[in-house]
Each structure stands twice: as structure tokens, then as C-alpha cells.
Structure 1
């Protein structure tokens, strides 16, 4: 075996305290964790068993019965000859043994997997031949999220994910704990995180959990209840959801609204048009359905994947406030609880597709610090997948500074969503420079500056309003091609930290206006940190916003 390889997810320059780590209480994950890790193997194994029966059904052949299986004899020689000891049950025993052999690597991974917690760090050890130790400093932790794949929900398990300040590559996971333990450990660790960041002395988390068997106390209590009560409690915790202490729900997206928004989306319209076209070709051109489907399989797979992601990330979506910041909960098969602490939201974007105007729906997305496009995450950067104007008015005050503290007024936000041309603090380009190029978007593209925010408006088919604090803007780029130089216009790109929403583009702006905006934005950026750091900065709801 190779030597242990320590890895600090916070990339600290401080040397690790080896003696302190030797006193840690190391604990294993839940014993059912290997089943969650091996879900793909389980699905493939079950598919291999069921596939012959399905093929016989479609061919019209008589399916195999238990009597037919009982007539099959075990091998009389070779390494499997001993199976005759089980008589007519040798085949099911062989199947079970093969299944267990496939799970052996996953159980070995679980056996060598450990985690520990002290007053300032979270440690994870893994590996049988090549050992790895990772450490996340709690004072660098941005959020602690709870992720639950479908099989984990069925088994009552959950994963804790620690996002630290260095970004996507430094996230640390503890896989898997019981859902009760995961929520309890997360709450204790968040108390430690707040204590460390405030300068007070925290107490060690997880001290009430018994080493080596974290679920012993809950199981002992659950054993005293009736089986039916235990089953009802399991369903409530793992499928209906449990609200945390101190949480207050802001928005809940009904399933009917989510399905309606998907029906009014471009992807569904394309699928419907392709289906009508395929039916027409089958009727008039005498082309088989199989040939049409095979030739367009890649297109269908991409559209179905996009629709499924939209359904899964919007299903049962809830936005709540908590002592740790805003939280989003969502998921049909895999459920995710994402925490958005103060200071991590870099920009906010409100969009309204063309067909959503019929129902008055909006979508609110955010860009997060330390979480870019390359990170494998279920969180799509959405504070509101689809919601009414009333939902929008409940969310924006939580993440956008009000006019009294250098932010946007209610009139400016309304103008950014609905108005055209200049007015209400927005500046639109001169019509003479733009009408020759893009008359259709002539009155929507505009911007507005406040002491703390840059608001960019655009889009005619899909209305867009982007809100970015001056202190969060990393780059403001002016682009001008040959046609732009000829007609005297330019495009501006605003880039903030975090890539979930991406850059914001202000198209077809007069060259003079674009250059003036660059200068003014540089001046505002110098003083923006002083505005945001001023004491008493609060949103209209009386709390610090996530943009603070």
C-alpha cells in the first residue's frame, strides 16, 4: 500500500496538525452506501435478467416459468459443480452469488472510507491501495448542501457536500449518511461555521453520534414504534420533505405550472413539429417509423434530456429563508438542498420567454461565486424556475438592494421588465445608429446605473433584465466590428464572478455611450465596496441581501 496522501480542499498554506488528527474519531458511512454507489451495476444486472422475458413477450413465445427453471440441471463438473448441493434452487443461488461478487468492490470502498469532524475541519479518508485524505476548513466553507439520489431516498440516505471558497474543484463530499444524521450533522457544522467566521470558539460537531455506527440511537428509538408508524415516518422524511428549524417558505412552484411552462417552451414545440413531420412522411412517403426515429435519434435524445433536466430541477421547487441564507429544494428523482449564503450571489437575471407572456410567468437565475459551468452539479442557478409576478416581487427584495441603499427602485425594476426606450433611469442608444442594423430590438436594449448596481435590459422575443453590483463586475468589454465602426455602434459584455448565468451582453449601443459607460463603471467600481460594506445595508424585507 502506498502512503497516505493528504489533500486540503481549502488549499491552506498552514501545516496540518498531525497530533490533533491522531485524536480524531473516525466514522464509517452508512452500511447501505455501497448500494447507492453501485446503482448502475444494479440496473444493468436487473436489465440482464428481465430482458429475455421481455423479448419472449414481444416475439409471442411462451415465457419461462419456475417449473422450467427447476428442470435445468447444474453443471456436473468444473468449479460450479458444488451448486448441485442446493438442488432445484441452484440457479437462484448462482444469480445471488454473481450479484454479490459484483458488489464486492463497492463494499471494499465503503470499508476503507472514513470521515471525521473537529472544531475547525472536516476530514475524509478513502482508498484501499492508493489512499487519499481530504480536508476542508470550516472557516472557508461557503455552503453545506444535502444531495439525495433516487436510490438514496429509497434507502433513507443523503450526501453532504461542502463548497469551500476556492471553487468547484475543491468541493468535498461525505457519502452517505442516514438522512436524519445528515441533517443533524449539517446543522451542527453550520453553527461551527458561523462561530468561526464571527471569531468565537466553536464546539466539536457530531459528538452525540456513536463512532462506527452513526444510526444506533435513531434505530433504537425507531424500534419502539409500530412498523406502520416507522414506514409512514420514512415516507414523510424521504419523499414529502422536512422543513428545517428557522426556515420560512418564500416560493413554491406547483407541478401544474412547471408542466405548463415546459409545454410553452421551444423544446416541446420542436418535438411536436418533428412528430407531425414524421407522421406526414410515414403517410405520404411510405417511410417506416423505425427508419425515421433512427435517423433523428440524436436530436430526440438531446431534446428529451433537456426536458428531463428541466422537469427534475423544477419539480417541487421551494425557496426558503434560513439563518444560513437562502435555500432551494427541488428534485423529482434526485433531490437537492442548496444553500446560497450571503455574499455568494454575484448577479441576478430575470427572463420572460415570448409564450410566457400569455400567462405572466418569469424566471429568476443567479450566478454564484466559486461555481462555474464546468462543475458537475444539479443546481441550475435558479431562484425561481417559473413563477408569477407576485412570486417575483417576493424574491427580488431578497437579492437586490433597494433605492435607499444605492440599489434599484420599484419603478426601475418595472421599467427593466416591461418598458421600452429611455426613462425611469434607463439609457437607450440613439435610434439613428441602431435602426439600420436591428430595428426589431430598437427600444429594449438599454442600461441603468445606480450607486451600487448596473442594470442591463434587452430582448424582444425573450425579455431579459440583468442586475449586477458594481463590486461583483470582473470585466466590462467593448467590442466593435467593421459594421459597428461603419454605423457607429458597439457591443458591451459584462462579466461577473461565477458562470451559472454567464456574461451579460448589451448590444448595439452608440460608441460614445459605450465609452462613457466604461469610464463611469470604472469610477463606480472603485467606491462600490464602500457602499456594500456600509453598516445597516438591508433589503426591503429588513434583512441583508444575498448580494451584500
Structure 2
């Protein structure tokens, strides 16, 4: 049999302005690395010379990198070639592709350019960032890659000469910027900031030893405190959710705009948070846990894991219906549908104040767990996304005959039934394992089962094994 000949298109280069844009991005890093202390030691003139020298070196390296970087699609692979002395070629199989994110930093918006960031299954970080290309080329390449990966619903396949037609989108919700600003003002960092400013002003006015460098360093430290709420405002500005043929479309950003498609079948769970200062307005925020997305930097590093930056209960009902299976006989799913079961009273030794808040619920399709006293949190995981079930018992838990059950997912998020009675914990583990197997097998009929402990949902189908003897 003759091997199939794969047509190879010519390599394409990034936009010629790429070295300048990367140099502008590096300018902020260079100034931050030199710090206020360096400015005080060498003076403003030498400080500017150092910055210009480092910036010029960065631009020269960027030009060399741009001249030796190219990309093209070969069959069902995206290949990226780079390097001058040590040449490297990266081949990314498109069947592993999860999402192609279009990112536009401020300088890119001013020049009409964009950056493509690829998320693949099992990637520890974002793969093959293509920075920068023109906006039409970015959109066309994004749709083409998603089509080749089998995740776009365009009627006409995308080609280099005929880009794919943008799929139809149905708007779901748009977060108002007013609510976003108010929500970030209702944070501990924003509330205590006036006291910090007053302290600095008093010290600067009455302490003669305070210099400009000391004041600048203090202001920098205060800016670090406000980094989290300010970053959320910048990332979630004009946040919009829509439903497309390839999944959920999330857009937002002020200085750096982002557009990303989340395949619904890759969603492992939904996290819901009720901050203490938001409860009077009955607000909450929701985040996604998606398999295959880079999460090495922690929760805050995932700029677009947010499903709903801020919203009320009716909004959460509409959004939840787009990503989670709806219980049989219902037209929607609300957070009040979960009948949470609390741990036994002897678990108050671990949670003296938060015991009434902690709970777990099992519905026909979903397991939900809640925790937290000041900041209340809930994790919702469909049974079909449960990868493993663990029963963990510490030394004090063994003495009180308690155990914690974890329902783990591929995205790293776990629904946890904390400090349950030992016999109930083993029942929960067996029941969660059974329901996850049945959900993955997509069984249409569920035989009648024995009655579970009070408050844990519908009857089950099998009798779980007896708890093992204590050791």
C-alpha cells in the first residue's frame, strides 16, 4: 500500500511588528527588575541608559527570533519551527487540541494584531503561542485548527485560501461593568486600603526621615495588595458568555482582550463561591474546572477559568444549565436544589463554627459539596466526570470514627464529603463509584435500590460492601 501523501503548505512568518511588540512587553519587566533601589543608587540618567540598553538588546534578539520562526499546518498537525543555532520543530497533533485562545494585549490592539494560545490535553502550560499575527489571520487560523480538530461546526472546511465561516453564537449573559467594579470594591483589600493610604500620608507628613524612595517602595507594596481585585477587573471587563457550535464562548478584558472556546464535554466541574461581603447583595461567582487546561500556576493563573465573575441566583441558573446535566423532569438547575446532608455532631471538634455549613448532596446526575464559614464554597461535579473515589482517615478521625470522601476529577478539582461517619463514608465511596460507572456507560434505566442515609438523595441500586474492620 502506498503511503498517503500529505500536502505541505509553505511556512508562514509572524507579523513584522512582533519584535517591537515583544520589546514593549519586556520594557515593563526590565523596569520592574531594576527596582526603585537601583534608581536611587545610580540616578535617573544612568537608570534610563540601562533601560534603553537592555531594551535594545531585547529588540535585537526579537528580530533574530522572528527571522527564524515559522509555522504551517501539515495534515492534522500544526508545526512550528524556531531557533538559529539550535533549530527546533514542534509538532502539535490537532486531535489533542482543546482550545485556541485569541489574546490581544494593549499594544496588539493598537496595531491590529493578536496572539494565539493553544491548550492541549495534558499540557502543563499553554502550547505554541503564536505572537503576533494580524487579527483576520488569527481568527481564520483559529477556526481552521478547531475544524481540523473536530471541534468546530463550520459547514465549509477551512483552508488557507478560504477561511472558515464564523459559527453562529447564542448570547447567554453579559456581566455589567458596574457590578464588576462594585464586587471588587467589596473585597478586604479594597476596604482596608484607605487605612493604608492614611498611614502613609501621616508618616510622610510627620517623619522627616521618609524619602521619595521610601514612599515609592511603600506605594509599590500597597499596589501589590490591590493586585488581585485590579487584575480581576482588567480580565473580566465586558465579560460575555455565549453558546456556539464548538462550546461555550467566553470573552472579556480591558487592557488585554481574550476570546476562548470551552468544549462543554471537557468541563469536569463547577466551583461556586459566596464571598462574605457579597452575601447582602446575594451575589456569587462561578468558575470552571476544565480537563486538559494548563493549571500549574494555581487558580489565579487561569485567567479564563471564570464561568461567571459576579452574578445573582437567576443568572447562575441560566449559566449552570449550559454546562451541567439537568436532573430528570426539571427544566433548569438551581443551587437551592441540593439537599445538603451535614456531618455528625461529633465532627464539631474539627469544625466548631462551620459544621452547619459543611454538607454533601447526591442528585440523579451530580454530586455537590459545600464548605467554608466566611467565604462559602460549593463544588459541583457530574458523576460522569468522577475519575476516582478516595476515603481518607487521619489519626483524630480514626479515634472519632470519622472519614472524608473525595470524588476526584481529571481537572484536579474534588468534591469532598468531610468528616462523615465511618459507615456512611464507605457507603458514599461505593455509591459514588457505582453512579460514575453508570453515568459513563450512559445507562438509560436505573433499577431500584436500597434507601441511602437521610438527606443524600435518591435510592440506590446495590448494597454497598460492609465497612472493613477497624485496625
TM norm structure 2: 0.78
> Contact between 1:147 and 1:337, CA under 8 Å: does it hold in 2?
yes
SS in 2 for 1:307: helix
Aligned residues of 1:312 and 1:332 also touching (Cα < 8 A) = yes
What does residue 171 of structure 2 align with? 249
1:325 — aligned with what? 247
2:148 to 171, 174, 192: 192
SS of the aligned residue for 1:38 comes to helix
2:232 to 291, 296, 310: 310
Q: 1:480 and 2:404 equivalent? A: no
Aligned counterpart for 1:205 among listed residues 159, 162, 170 = 159
**2:245 is the counterpart of 1:260:** no
Aligned to 1:110: 66
2:368 equivalent to 1:455: yes
Residue deviations 1:91-125 (CA, integer Å, cap 9, x gap): xxxx9999877633212211111111244222211
User: Are 2:95 and 2:149, in contact at CA under 8 Å, matched by a contact in 1?
Assistant: yes
- Deviations, residues 509-544 of structure 1 (Å, cap 9, x unaligned): 23332222112112222222013899xxxxxxxxxx
- Give the secondary structure class of the aligned counterpart of 2:80: strand
Q: 1-side partners of 2:244 and 2:200: how far apart?
A: 50
Aligned to 2:354: 441
1:136-194 Cα deviation digits (max 9, x unpaired): 22222111111112211111111122222232347222222101121122223323332
Which of 310, 322, 337 aligns to 1:398? It is: 322
Q: Which residue of 1 aligns with 2:124?
A: 168
Determine which structure has more spread, i.e. the larger CA radius of gyration. 1
Q: Provide structure 1 residue ranges, at least 5 long, that are not aligned to the other structure.
A: 1-15, 64-94, 210-242, 417-423, 535-548
Aligned-pair distance for 1:265?
1.1
Q: Distance in 1 between matches of 2:375 and 2:214?
A: 32
Map of 2:448 onto structure 1:
none
Determine if the alignment matches structure 1 residue 530 to structure 2 residue 441.
yes
- In structure 1, what is the equivalent of residue 303 of structure 2? 379
- The answer to whether residue 341 in structure 2 is matched with residue 427 in structure 1 is yes
Corresponding pairs, count: 428
* Greater RCO, 1 or 2 (C-alpha within 8 Å, sep 6+): 1
The worse-fitting range, judged by mean Cα deviation, of 509-518 and 125-134 is 509-518
SS in 1 for 2:72: strand
State the distance in 2 between where 1:509 and 1:176 align.
53
SS at match of 2:250: strand
Contact kept, 8 Å, 2:187 with 2:229, in 1: the verdict is no
Deviates more, 1:392-401 or 1:364-373: 364-373
- Return the alpha-carbon distance in structure 2 between the equivalents of residues 142 and 45 of structure 1: 34
Q: Deviation of residue 262 (structure 1)?
A: 0.8
Q: Distance in 2 between matches of 1:279 and 1:476?
A: 55
How far apart in 2 are the matches of 1:441 and 1:290?
Answer: 47
Partners in 2 of 1:148 and 1:523 — Cα distance?
45
The residue number in structure 1 matching 2:429 is 518
Task: Decide whether aligned partners of structure 1 residues 285 and 26 sit closer, same or farther in structure 2, where only a CA change above 3 A counts.
Answer: closer
Q: Is this contact kept in 1: 2:367–2:415, CA < 8 A?
A: no
Q: CA RMSD in A?
A: 4.0
Name stretches of at least 5 consecutive residues in structure 2 with no aligned partner.
Answer: 46-50, 446-471
Q: Deviations over 1:290-318 (max 9, x none)?
A: 79868867853532322332122211111
CA distance in 2, matches of 1:100, 1:365: 41
CA change 1:161–1:456 in 2 (3 A) is same
Deviation per CA, 1:453-478, whole angstroms, max 9, x where unpaired? 21112333222221112232234333
> CA 1:531–1:174 in structure 2 vs 1: closer, same or farther (change >3 Å)?
same
Q: Deviation per CA, 1:14-63, whole angstroms, max 9, x where unpaired?
A: xx98x747x4311111111112222245568999xxx9xx99xxx9xxx9
- Using the TM superposition, give the Cα deviation of residue 434 of structure 1 relative to its aligned residue in structure 2, in angstroms: 2.9
